[in-house]
Amino acid sequence: MLYNHTTLKETVISLSIQLPDKLEQQLSVYCQENHLSINETIRLALERLLTTNPFLISPYQLGKDGFGADQTHEGDIAQHSKELLKARFSKNADC
């Protein structure tokens, strides 16, 4: 949708795209399951893509949910790595 600067009316652009068969089938199923038209689904997908640019997300943001996920440590690992490694492997040596 574009705006004509002289009249401030919306201008609608029609697009034609070629999709691989598999993607077309996935789109059709998605639209049926979510009760959306193909036009609405593609418009929503483009809006999401263009407003949440995945290339602007930092590496930290991409991985933050996994940091510390193992919960096998407490405190600052970097400062105490030697002690933590010794403790870890001395326990295994006793087995």
pLDDT of the residue at 37: 95
Residue type, 2: L
Residue type, 64: K
pLDDT-derived band of residue 27, with 50, 70 and 90 as boundaries? Answer: very high
Candidates 3, 23, 5, 21; CA nearest to 13 is 3
pTM: 0.47
For residue range 62-83, what is the model confidence (pLDDT) as tens digits? 777 777 656 666 667 777 778 8
- pLDDT of residue 8 exceeding 80, the answer is no
The conformation of residue 3, written as its DSSP 8-state character, comes to E
- pLDDT of residue 6 exceeding 60, the answer is no
Mean pLDDT, residues 34-59 taken together: 85
The 10 Å CB-count burial string (b at 16+, else e) for 10-49 is eeeeeeeeeeeeeeeeeeeeebeeeeeeeeeebeeeeeee
